[in-house]
Copies of this chain bind each other. A is one copy, B any other.
Amino acid sequence: MTTYSIADIAKAVGATAVGDVSLCVTGLSEPADAAENSLALASTPKYAEHLAKGEAQAAFMWADADWASFGLKAAILPTRPRYAMSGLTKMFDPGPGFEDGIHTTALIDPTAVIGADVNIGPYAIVGARAQVGDGTVVGPHCYIGTDAAIGAGSFLREHVSIGARVRIGERFFAHPGVRLGGDGFSFVTPEKSDVEEARESLGDNVEATQQAWHRIHSLGGIVIGDDVEIGVNTAIDYGTIRPTKVGDRTKIDNLVHIAHNVVVGNDCLICGQVGIAGSSVIGDGCVFGGQVGISDNLKIGDRVICGASSKVLSNIPAGRVVLGYPAVKMDLHVEMYKALRRLPRLTQDIAALKKAVFKSSTND
């Protein structure tokens, strides 16, 4: 069981320790659920109210908390509690409990290059000439394709598949069911297609034709930077000629779809079920809320924030915050939406005006 003293924890997360700093805790709890040997997480006065319901003798609070007034023996007082939570939870994370070493059922091609201190789980497969960096963990049932490369210090949970020729930086983290290396969804008709016509004409005059789709193969690979994390069952497709790219330190949530040729910059946060269509380019430091959709061939500038479920149909300049379908600047969206809510009453006002002005009461 993991055990740390209050002093050790405070030092590790860069916070102040107060009271009996030699007191030891074995885990983290919400205040009301805390056992005697837990560190209660009470990072705001609102959470601290619940300390009395639990048994905690020590709590993780805020910089100027009056910790003694809660009957605690010790406390940790961080200046930015939310940030300190990162180090705190890392200390107590038991991980998935994969076994060390290379399992006897792992199938590793003799030409694969496996680094030092690598763990490879049961029924995992590593293809020809694939490279696995030092200290990397390849979970059970993973598949690493031919000529793929995964940097040092990476961690692949179970059931991950990394396609042939995918190149990944260091400290990569892949959750279960991550799939890097589907082919791009790129099909073409022998003649100009209905969709091409519709895009050009905004929907007018699209003639009905029988058309069969022919596949454009994906030769472009995928390049993933350092310190990237990718969530459960997320899919990133190969590029067509140039690689699909994800920049350094970018984090991607569950069930996200990143299409062929897309470039995602550094330090982005892409939430659950986001979809980014083919060839769009996303700047650095962008944040996309859940279920955001980015249409194809767009340019999204640096530090753009897309509110949840925004559907982006045109380019966005750097630094903009957008919302809606189609996505517009957030303040415009709020103004439009307020007006829309007032619209039924407005319709009545106009009917009254028409009656007064034109002696007519019909409105439709």
> Contact at A356–B358, with CB atoms within 8 Å?
yes
* Surface stretch bound by B, among A17-25, A51-59, A67-75, A121-129: A121-129
A residues contacting the other copy or chain, number (CB 8 A): 145
0/1 string, A264-276, CB within 8 A of B gives 1: 0001010111010
A86 to B158, CA, bound (A): 35
Assess the A233–B339 pair: CB atoms within 8 A. no
A204 interfacial by beta-carbon distance below 8 Å = yes
Q: Which residues of B contact A151 (CB under 8 A)?
A: none
- Of the listed stretches A3-11, A112-120, A139-147, name the one at the interface; the rest are far from the partner chain: A139-147
Query: A254-268: contact bitstring with B at CB < 8 Å (1 yes, 0 no)?
Result: 110101000000010
A350–B347 alpha-carbon span in the complex (Å): 10
Option from B232, B251, B325, B334 in Cβ contact (under 8 Å) with A325? B325
Known: A125-B140, A176-B181, A212-B267. A188 touches B331 (CB 8 A): no
Set of chain B residues within 8 Å of A267, measured between Cβ atoms: 210-213
Inter-subunit contact A341/B349 (CB<8 Å): no
Contacts of A245 in B (CB 8 A): none
* Residue on B nearest A193 in the bound complex, by CB: B287
Contact A96 B237 (CB under 8 A): no
Residues of chain B lying within 8 A (CB to CB) of residue A295:
289-290, 308
A257 to B234, CA, bound (A): 11
With known contacts A89-B240, A341-B336, A291–B305 Cβ distance under 8 A = no
Chain B residues, Cβ within 8 Å of A181:
96, 176
Contact A194 B293 (CB under 8 A): no
A146 to B157, CA, bound (A): 13
Cα–Cα distance between A255 and B141 once the two chains are bound (Å): 21
Closest chain B residue, CB of each to CB of A127:
B97
Q: Which residues of chain B have C-beta atoms less than 8 A from A318's C-beta?
A: 208
Q: Roughly how many angstroms separate A229 CA and B217 CA in the complex, as a whole number?
A: 12
Contact of A213 among B90, B105, B188, B249 (CB under 8 A): B249
Query: Which residues in chain A, 316-348, are within 8 Å of chain B measured between CB atoms?
Result: 318-319, 321, 323-326, 329-332, 334-347
Q: A89-B240, A194-B303 are in contact. Are A271 and B217 (CB under 8 A)?
A: no
In the complex, are the beta carbons of A86 and B215 less than 8 A apart? yes
In whole angstroms, what is the CA distance A285 to B253 when docked?
28
Are A175 and B164 interface neighbours, CB within 8 A?
A: no
B-facing residues in A146-192 (Cβ within 8 Å): 146-147, 157-159, 161, 163-165, 175-177, 179, 181-183, 185, 187-192
CA distance A191 to B321 in the complex (A): 19
B255 touching A198 by the CB < 8 A rule? no
B353 touches A344 (CB 8 A): no
Top 7 A-B residue pairs of the complex, sorted by shortest distance between their CB atoms:
A97-B146, A203-B321, A203-B330, A89-B217, A182-B232, A232-B235, A86-B214
